Structure 1
Amino acid sequence: MTSLTVVPAPLSALAPVSSRHFIFVYELKTQEEARSYCRQHYTDLATVENMEDVLTLNEMVDRSRLQLLKPPDGFLNGTWIGLYDDVNTWSWSLSDPTYYSEGQENYRNWAPGRPNNIRANQFCVWMYQSGQWEDYECTYRLQAICVNLTGSSETFVLTTASFTWEEAQQYCRQHHTDLASVKNATQNSQIAALIPTNSAWIGLNRQRWRWLDGNNSTFSFWKTLQPDNYETLEHCVVADFESGGRWADSNCDKMRPFICYGWAVKKYKIKLQLNTTIANLNDPVVMEQLLQQIALRVGRANATDLLKLSWVKDANGNVFNKTTTP
C-alpha cells in the first residue's frame, strides 16, 4: 500500500477572545432588519448585561450623529438593543408531554381582544366564570384551579384561598399535581363550572423579556413608566441616550439606529502533516470534509462554537502538496 505524506497543509484559524465589544450603527432600520445586519456582520443585536455595559454605551454613543437621523415617524426616541418580548411563548405549568394528545397543548379560549398584554406585564392567565380566558398581571391575587392526576384519571379542584399565580403554582404542586391545564372545550366547561364568581388562575403562562442571542441575563434598566406596551404593539426595546441609556419598549417596525455586538478575534496559521491514502486532497469536497472533522475536534476541545477555520491556498490555488513514500 502506498502512503502519501502531505506537507504542508496551511490552516487559518480565527479564535474568539474574551473581549466583547459594541458597535453603533447610525442607520435607520426596523428591529428585524437591524438583527439581520448584526448577525451578518457581527454576532447579534447588543445584549446589555450590567451597569458596566450601560456606562460603556453612554461613553461610546455619538449623540450628534443620532440627532442627524430623521426617522419616517419624526421621532428618534431610542436605539435598538437585543431585548424583545416574545408574545407567542404561552405554555402550561404542567409540562409533561405525555399528558397531552396531539394538539391539546395548543387549545385556547381567549376572550375577544385577548391576549393584549396591557402595560407589558401580563404573563399569566385566568379563566372567567364564562369559560373565556384573559392574560393578566401574575401578582394579582385570585383563587386557582389545581388538578389531581391518578393514572389516567384527572380531577380539578378550586382552592379556597387566593394566591398570586406563582404562589398558586407552588400550592398546587405541593398539595395536588399542578395548576390546571385545559386540553379541550369539554374540560374548559368543566373547569368554568367550578368558578363561583369572577375568575380563577389556570396554568397557562409565558416567558418575560428575552435576549435575541439567548443570554439569560436578568439585568434591566427601564425608564420610568416603561415598559408600557403602548397601543399593545411594542414588543421590542430601545436604549434612550437622552435618558442615560435607559430602556423603553417600542414598535418593532419603527425605523431606528441600532447597536450590535461582536467578539475580538485572534488569527492563527497552523501547518498540518497528514498521512493518508486519499489520492486528491485538493478536491473541494475532500477539503470541506477534513475541515469539518478538524473543526469538530478543535471545537470540542475548546468548548466554543465561534471558532472559524479556513484553508490557505498557495500561488497555484492548492492547499496540499504531497510526497509519496513507500
Structure 2
Amino acid sequence: GSQTINLPALLFLYSLLFCSLILCQGYKYYFIKEPKTWDEAQRYCREGYKDLATVPNMTYMKTLYTDSTENQGNAWIGLYSISGKENRRWHWSLPGLPEELSETDSGTRKCAMTEFNKEGKWKADDCNTRKSFFCYENFILIKENKKWDEALTYCQRHHHDLVSITNSEEEELVKEKVKNATTPYVWLGLHFSCVFQLWLWVSDRVVCYENWANEDHAGRCGMSVAMETGGEHKWFKKNDSEMFNFICSLR
C-alpha cells in the first residue's frame, strides 16, 4: 500500500540546497490525465516537455495547485526513492539536482505522488502503479517564423518574454530546445539598444554570460541576436527583419 511522506521539512531543507538553475526559472506545470507507470510518465514528459514535475519548495507547491483545474490527487511527480539497507534516499527526476534527505524505511523502490491536502503532503507508492502525472516546462520553442519584434510581442502576450540567458545552465536548456527548430536560427531576447549603445536582454539585464560566434560584438540599431539551430549553437547578430522560430520563457 501507499505511505505518507512527511515532506514539509524535506522541502524546506531542500530549498536551501536547490541550485540556481531552478530558482532562476519559472515553472509551468501540465497535468496529464492518461494513467502511466512512473517510468512511462518520466519518458513521456522528457519527450514532450522537460521532465516530470520538480517541486522544490512550498511556493512551487502552490503553483502546482494553481495550475490544477480539476481533482488531480494521487498523480505522479518527479520524486523517487532508492532504498538501502537502513534508509531510503529520495531523488528528483531532473538529472544533476542535489539529493533529497534520507528517511528510515525499507522495501522496494517507491515513487512520490500528490495528495493535495492542506498539510501539503505527498504520498509514496509502487512505481509500477499507473497514475495520472504532472510534467513541467520552463522554456518553450515556438515554431512560427516571425521578425524579432513580432516574436517579442508574441512571447509577452502568450507566455512571459523572449528568453534571456544569464548563465551556462540556462544556455544548455535553450540549446536543447533549439535543436527542434524549423529555421537555421532561433531568436533570443538579446537586442542592441540604440539609447545605451550596447547589447541588452529584454529583461534589461546586461550581458554577463555570452556565447558569441566570433569576437566582433559590435552592434547597431535594428539588430538582435539569434542562436544557430545546429553546430555549436553559437550566438549570431541578425537584422530584426529576418524571420525565425523563437524561444519564450515561462514565468
TM over 0.5: no
Report the structure number with the largest CA radius of gyration: 1
TM-score using structure 1 length: 0.35
TM-score using structure 2 length: 0.45
Instruction: Flag the structure with more relative contact order, 1 or 2, with Cα contacts below 8 A and sequence separation at least 6.
Output: 1
